[in-house]
Structure 1
């Protein structure tokens, strides 16, 4: 006759029992930084030159399915950023004549940047307060990537899912 399953009792001792989590690991607060986003999304940056035509820039935005382009010189130095909003503003100012302009005519030249070590919460705050959605990431060597408000929000959603799973595992055991 087969034995039926009996759950472990308190008197049972299992010295080899392991725990994948502890109170320390579950309660530790790790600050997410910009480099965490870049690790997930990669460091690919699309750029244009200031003297390029707006038609070229618009096609690059469309073909790469992105919302902004870095404007750089021949050496890769950051000169500005060209966003969909910049283009929309020019469309409103010069209807029917927008695509004939050069990138340098409508790009944003005062560009907010961040570093790989900046906390994501501060980057998100700066984007929200400044009402922009794209931020180039710079280190001592120059431009190393770009983060968007969508990247930051997506990273936080993944963190929240992970935190919920940790809580569930803590409760279930």
Structure 2
């Protein structure tokens, strides 16, 4: 036993208990949401018209170094999404005939979207379960941006690094 230790005595006052960790101290006060990710990433989403060709889409994907395009109809409303996977599937089905086809013929129409208020954990789970990597962000029917599974993971990794640094500073003083 260290020499500085003094056992509690009968007349000692009860000290306030302090815990370095508890459920409440380990929970962040604000859960990360899609809107936080969009604030750091930006809300740019590259869109293409339904009437454009796959050749045009491939050129945009290559030039912008992205994996999917938002597809909009004549009124600029969300009509679908065209991913590299959609294009590869069509190339296998119609070799040599794919590039002149329209985006509308090849896009995914039933697009799973999220809202800015959705938590990143919920969005990540939906992407994993649905086996897709891109998700448009929509609020009130208006396109707000697009996030990828990589965006979500990188955002969370940055959060974890920040939390680790804060803990280190608490320990070191």
TM-score normalized by structure 1? 0.83
Q: CA RMSD in A?
A: 1.8
1:1-173 mapped onto 2 (5 Å cutoff): 27-29=26-28, 30-140=30-140, 142-173=142-173
Unmatched segments (≥5 aa) in structure 1: 1-21
Q: How far apart in 2 are the matches of 1:91 and 1:71?
A: 19
Q: How far apart in 2 are the matches of 1:71 and 1:170?
A: 48
Q: 1:74 Cα shift?
A: 2.8
Unmatched segments (≥5 aa) in structure 2: 1-19
Q: 1:79 Cα shift?
A: 0.4
Aligned residue for 1:99, secondary structure, equals coil
TM-score normalized by structure 2? 0.83
Aligned length: 152
